[in-house]
Structure 1
Amino acid sequence: MTVVVEVLDGGHTAVLERQLRAVFAEAFAEPPYEAGPRDVERAFRRFRSQVRRRGFRAAVAFDDGTAVGMAYSYPLSATTGWWDTLTEPVPEEMRREDGARTFGLFELAVRPAWRGRGVATALHRALVEGLDNRRVMLNSRPEASAAQAAYRAWGYRRVGAAVPWEGAAVHEVLVLEL
């Protein structure tokens, strides 16, 4: 079958929650994440509020009507706490947000059986294509070598490290200038 990527707004993405939960659970069950049911539940509690954010946008990859990959994000607000989770100081100019400057990429996941087929690249391309934002920012586990290699190949650069929530592992903070 041919994988098709669709770009969706929050309302259209919300109705896919069950399928996206399955993508998340499969994609993040492996090391270094080893996500279990509690991790999936925590991610989708956030998801339910994220899909309602201004400017929310998702790219979902479908194979014969079944979601096999996803990426979603929205512009960071002027009062975002994302920069406050950094473990290393960054210049104030980098931290400045205005509600339109930075598109925060919150999840990018592909089911294992569909990896190595360009699905992640297609999702990322569809998600950021045509954005008015000046940059995209994401957090990634440093030991997730395949993800790190993809982000670097797409032009992301490391700007720091963060602990994005209490109890989380250290993540690299990566930025892509658009």
Structure 2
Amino acid sequence: MTVTVQLLNGEQTAELESELKKVFAEAFAEPPYGEGPADVERAFRRFRSQIRRRGFRAAIAFDDETVVGMAYGYPLSANTGWWDTLIDPVPGDLRHEDGKRTFGLFELAVRPPWRRQGIASHMHRVLIEGLDNARVLLNARPEATGAQAAYLAWGYRRVGSAIPWEGAARHDVMVLDLPHP
């Protein structure tokens, strides 16, 4: 069997919610995340509003009919609160959003049995290919050394730290500048 990645819009992604919950639950159950059923439900309450955002797109990995990975996001609005969660000061020009400048990558996960096969990298490439945004922004746990290594290898740079929601652990805020023709 060969893993394939499909680029989907919000409506198409919504149809896969139950399968994506399985990916999230398996990927984030282990350390350093330790997320359980309540965390999955919280993430998918956000998911239901995220899929309706302008410019939402998802790269979903399938092994035959089984969903084995997901990556999704959308362009940040001009009045996004993302930068307000930073605990480190950053220059104002880095924080500036206009509704088009930054694509927010909200989730990227691969189920454990399918890891270390290049699936995350493939989903990431499919997700950002053709974006007309200037950059991609994501939050990543510093203790997630595998994810951190991948992001750095893909060209992301750390620009600060954030507490993305009340009660969350500290996350590194990372930016990838996109090439423009």
| TM-score normalised to structure 2 length | 0.98
C-alpha separation in 2, matches of 1:14 and 1:96: 30
Quote the offset at 1:117 in angstroms.
0.4
Residues matched between the structures, number: 178
Alignment match, 2:84: 84
5+ residue gaps in structure 1?
none
2:110 corresponds to which residue? 110
Compute the displacement of 1:154 (Å). 0.1
Please tell me the residue identity of whatever aligns with 1:143: E
Partner residue of 1:30? Answer: 30
Structure 1's consecutive aligned runs of 4 or more residues displaced over 6 angstroms after TM superposition are: none
What's the counterpart of residue 7 of structure 2?
Answer: 7
* RMSD of equivalent CA atoms: 0.3
Whole-Å separation in 1 of the counterparts to 2:5 and 2:64:
11
1:67 paired to 2:67 = yes
**C-alpha separation in 1, matches of 2:44 and 2:139:** 17
Amino acid at match of 2:170: V
Q: Give 1:48 deviation, angstroms.
A: 0.2
Deviation, structure 1 residue 45: 0.2
Q: Which runs of 5+ in 2 are unaligned?
A: none
Match of 1:16 in 2: 16
- Percent of pairs with identical residues: 73
- Please give the residue correspondences for 1:158-177 in structure 2 after superposition, counting only pairs within 5 Å: 158-177=158-177
SS in structure 2 opposite 1:62?
strand
How many angstroms apart in 2 are the aligned matches of 1:116 and 1:166? 32
**Aligned equivalents of 1:19 and 1:13: distance in 2?**
10
Q: Which amino acid aligns with 1:130?
A: G
Aligned equivalents of 2:167, 2:68: Cα separation in 1: 29
1:58 CA drift (Å): 0.2
- SS of the residue corresponding to residue 4 of structure 1 reads strand
TM superposition shift of 1:61: 0.0
- The superposition leaves residues 57-106 of structure 1 with CA deviations (integer Å, 9 ceiling, x where unpaired) of 00000001110000000000000000000001111100000000000000
| d(CA) in 2 for partners of 1:116, 1:83 | 31
Task: Measure how far apart 1:115 and its partner are.
Answer: 0.2
Letter in 1 for 2:113: A
The match for 2:135 is 135
